[in-house]
Structure 1
Amino acid sequence: MSSSATTATTQAAKALLRKSLKRRLKLVPPAQVAQDLSYLDNAAAAITARVLAASWYLKADAVSCYLSTPVGEASTDSIILDALSKGKRVFIPYCPLEQPTVMRMLRLKSVHHFESLKLNRWGIRDLDPQEQSGGLDLILVPGLAFDRKKRRLGHGRGYYDRYITETGDYAARFKKESPYTAALALNAQIIEPDDPQQIPVTEWDRTPDVLVTPDEVIS
């Protein structure tokens, strides 16, 4: 099978897995949803504590952190606020509508700037494109699902895979250190080895340096 055919097959398998995971979430009873929302707060606090104590976070001066969705992801608000309070340069992803395959990193200037961000149609805080990043030390990566080999299933646009590849190529060209990458995941986002549906990968997929869950850091 050719490389292009293999890639197409893998992408189709990823699309099926995304649909399956989203369908699974829709079948959760309302009472369970309420319980899960309470769990989300505790899980996010546990993930945040692990990130804030990590050496790769403590030594990072420039941090990229995604703005979390209201459900299905651990909140990153506390990480962003901590980084700003420590004087770190904080950048968040921005995807221009006119460039559907491009992701840029734009700087948050202060806690007030963060708290004044308006919600977009997905309920995520949004930033006007004002200041792009220089070099990053740390990239915190979201995802729909992960496994214990740190393989990641994104939302299908390939933003982070391309961005991490580009920053790695830039670092190699100028003999600099590539940004450290840490993915954040709730326990419910982990696909265990005995799950019948596993995460398919291609040569373009990028694996984070570590995967942080409420219970552990997988390196």
Structure 2
Amino acid sequence: MSAIRTSKAALRTEIKAMLNSLSSEEKARQSKLVKERLLQHEVYQKSQRLSIFLSMPDEVHTEPILRHALEAGKACFIPRYYSKSSDMDMVRLSSWEEYEALPATRWGIKQPPLSQECETALATGGLDLILVPGLAFTKEGHRLGRGRGYYDRFLAKCRAAQQAPPHTLALTFTQQVLPSVPTDDTDMLVDVVITA
């Protein structure tokens, strides 16, 4: 195993432990501030077609953001992961009711079943904004994900498929922004890191 992979694995363990020690009140407080900052961000306000990750318990809560984007009439797409590979699509979500009715995966994240026909972002005009999750970031936009490469691969697909690449905004707790994170050639930079 390469030195970078080893240091990534060690940092993931460290960050997960730190996130587990944050109280749910603190996560809710920071999530609210991150949401307010995002909604004021020009890139979010101008976006028409965006993808929103559905948060796990140790991530910035994205349900209120999804609700806002749907109510604002934006075309909202959510990740659909293929658990047997590192592939992911962004599939269209047309309403809050549709979101609430979605089944949860073994990770506890809602997504349409793989058997269901869904409109995918890249097949129908691409995306202008992707909200990106991650375990750790630098102010410059370096990102440490969870190790499966879903977002790095998807961002590479977007850049190949679209004339103008989508903007990428990371949503994260203040404690997840570090002076540096280990990265390699396949790790995509994010444009802006939004914290509380």
With the length of structure 2 as denominator, give the TM-score of the two structures: 0.89
Residue 120 (structure 1) aligns with: 105
Aligned partners of 1:52, 1:202: CA distance in 2, in Å? 32
Residue 145 (structure 2) aligns with: 154
Residue 6 of structure 2 is aligned with which of 12, 17, 36? 12
Aligned partners of 1:149, 1:54: CA distance in 2, in Å? 17
Aligned partners of 1:208, 1:86: CA distance in 2, in Å? 24
Q: Does 1:138 align with 2:129?
A: yes
Residue 92 (structure 1) aligns with: 78
State percent identity of aligned pairs: 36
Aligned partners of 2:14, 2:41: CA distance in 1, in Å? 33
Report how many residues are paired: 190
Partner secondary structure for residue 119 of structure 1:
coil
Unaligned runs of 5+ residues in structure 2 are none
Q: Deviations over 1:91-122 (max 9, x none)?
A: 01111234x12111111111111122233333
Cα deviation, residue 24, structure 1: 4.3
With the length of structure 1 as denominator, give the TM-score of the two structures: 0.81
- Alignment RMSD, CA only? 1.7
Work out whether residues 103 and 113 of structure 2, in 8 Å CA contact, stay in contact via their aligned partners in 1. Answer: no
Residue 82 (structure 1) aligns with: 68
Aligned partners of 1:66, 1:206: CA distance in 2, in Å? 17
Per the alignment, do residues 37 and 132 of structure 1 end up closer, same or farther by CA in structure 2, a change over 3 Å counting?
same
Matched to 1:203, the amino acid is: D
Residue 182 (structure 2) aligns with: 200
Residue 187 of structure 1 is aligned with which of 162, 167, 174? 174
Aligned partners of 1:126, 1:167: CA distance in 2, in Å? 20
Aligned partners of 2:37, 2:19: CA distance in 1, in Å? 26
Matched to 2:12, the amino acid is: R
Aligned partners of 1:73, 1:90: CA distance in 2, in Å? 19
Partner secondary structure for residue 104 of structure 1:
strand
Q: Deviations over 1:151-183 (max 9, x none)?
A: 111000111111111211222xxxx21100000
